[in-house]
Structure 1
Amino acid sequence: MIMLIESKNRTKATFITYYQGFLAIAAILLFFTKLDIYLFSNHGFFIPLYWLLGFLLASIPLWLSLLRRLDSLSKPLVIWSGVYIAVSFISILLQPVLPKEQYLEDQYRTILFLLLALGIFAYHPLLTKWIKLTIMSVTFLNISLFIYEFFNPLSFYVKQVAPGRSSGFYGDSNTAGNSLVLGMIMTIDLIKPKYRLFYSLFIFIGLAPTFSRGAIVGWVIVVALLMIKKSIPRYQISLLLVFFLVIISILSTQINNLKYLKDSDGKELFHKDTLARVEFLIDPLAQKDDSKASREEHVEIAWRKFASHPLIGNGLGSGENTATISLVGIAQRSHNTYLDQMTEFGFLGSLLFPGLLLACVWKAKGEFRNQGAAFVIFLLAQGFFSHTLISESCSSIVYAMMANLSKHSSLQSVLNPDTDEFLDKLYFHNFHDLES
């Protein structure tokens, strides 16, 4: 009965509730889309650090209110953050030489941003609804931007990092692809079951211009899992198979003609690397491209570093391949989250990312449990293709949002408040029993 009363109190909207909602929506629009980095990189508008400091100052009233409702914070995510901070400091103490100032700054910023996201996305029933609607809106926007950019390659950047591959504000096609799949996972329960496959296929249309192999394979895994769990009706599997048979048939018969397609300026739509990725989708085992070969080299270097210090690692920043430092001071890494963390922190590093994902979906209940499983499996797989899944601000936003949605599903499962009338009746009967 006490839990029911507390639940009804939580649903009351106060000024701080709307203020938190404003901060949450603004954080999604700015950080989940990586708009902060895009504005600075292309228009010189505020460095990303200023945005972080601005949100920290703006969230002070929110944090003061959270002192009276600490249970709104995701305890598993708070614990993981504490472990990550401890591991980072222990690593610094164990290494004979202090890491470079830039590495320390990057680590502090990652931790600070995750803690900020924890506060902004602290649980409230109304906030959960606003989060989902905002994520869906951003997902639809990204689909439009990616399709537009494919036909207008220089729409967002003076020079594309990966020519022929859409990335929108993200700048990186793999991150862009991941954002669409994550958006689908977090919002698919807003769609009626019979329309969910069509929603997933619509997401795939936006995903295709990124030519992100990891994200596309991840999309297939997520849709298959949701079908197995019946979140997407199983009887629609025939429609899904027909869709892919048509796509593969068209690509396999027209692969040699794709290189002749040009945009309105007469430039090729499909570049060499893009065509190689199309060939990979048709037959993953029959083709090898330069990107894959380059990644294998970085993995070998990182693995040798880990093997030299498997217990305590090599310290912050050791995941970088110093031989590949660019003019702007950025070096290549292993493109593997597990190996990157193992290189820096030793064996323990391999558990950090899985632990983070587990903390995000801890005690997820009901239908959202299926979405939580899809979330974990998708990102566990992406960990083998990317090394930025812990450090990027857009990733921290995702983890905090997922923790909020999981907490909501857990409370909904316990309380099952179908209507306010149901709560009132249950409260009345319990109170009457106590009086008797």
Structure 2
Amino acid sequence: MHSLKGKRIVLGVSGGIAAYKAAALTSKLTQAGATVHVILTQNAARFVQPVTFQTLSHQPVHHDIFDEPDPHVISHIELADRADLVLVAPATANLIGKMAHGLADDMLTTTILATKAPVMVAPAMNVNMYDHPAVRANMEKLAEYGYRFVEPGEGLLACGWVGKGRLAEPEEIVQAVAAFFAEHESESCTKKDLIGKKVLVTAGPTREKIDPVRYITNHASGKMGYAIAEAARDRGADVVLISGPTSLPRPVGVDFVAVESVQEMFDAVMEALPDSDIVIKSAAVSDYRPRTVYDHKMKKGDGELVLELDKAPDILKTIGERKANQFLVGFAAETQDLLENAKSKLERKNLDMIVANNVLTEGAGMGSDTNIVTLMSRSGEQVELAQMSKRAVADKLFDAIGLLSGQGSLRDLS
């Protein structure tokens, strides 16, 4: 994990039951070398006492905007100016709404509004609140501002509901913070080798309807594809991201096309293909779709149900057949015979490179923030990458594309 030594993190804690996890988060960030300045909302201080955070961070805790112990500085401006990162965990629906609309009525929100530092948000709330259109719109607005998110987990919530909305575990948040700093510190030397190039990326799962309430899908989160789109954007490319349904905020600075079914993704890809220079198909699309889609909800009967499926359009194979000068990259998410299956797919679908990973390997599965992949070229060269963040994998992927496009070798990948 990237060291946090010397990093100054302002940790904002809002008033939800998940505030108790923020205490463990404070401890882990401090142990990783960060200097952590905690700001509590008034409601957060009712869940966990300020002295807890003071003991764990070894720093004064702020919760009252009118408490100004040093007459030479204004506390929230001082914190805002000196922060390397503002981390809000947990972020309630109320606080997310305030941030999205620029409201500043307490110590935390004034600090967030005043800072020039990056802001990372870890939401935590009831599943129905998390899915509410107003909350989703507020998160999308924050994403447009450049805020980053640490996705909540799924499971039993304190309210008794089961679903998405549980604050990410402290270890996951620390990993996200470490990955951010690792990425941020490399931005000054980020290559701009894709200026003038058009990159087409597919991401996420597809959903194939059975009836108005049921569909076939898979566990793809879209994280790998979104990381690829962001890496291409940062390297100067014009990016089209075609995404199936995900809970991820839309990346800023890319042309975003939302689709649901494999047919919708097929149509969108074929429309964008002629203008593309590089095509990276990381989406996990359905191989089959229901032969019959019912207009009304199917009722449970006494006997077994047989669901007939037809083959869905093969997007990757069709691109391989139609491509002209595009560099085409596919993904092989396997559970066994990884390299053999990846090589077969590369050849059958006329790819220039394939990215193979075993989704049963810890740290490489769908939904994780890291990946462990093997890159394989058309000539049979292959290089295995160590476990790293999906954004780091994305940059390695574009390094490899640059090498192979220039008649180089994967052996030269550093």
TM-score by length of 1: 0.26
Q: Greater RCO between the two (CA within 8 Å, min separation 6)?
A: 1
Relative to total residues, which structure has the larger helix share, 1 or 2?
Answer: 1
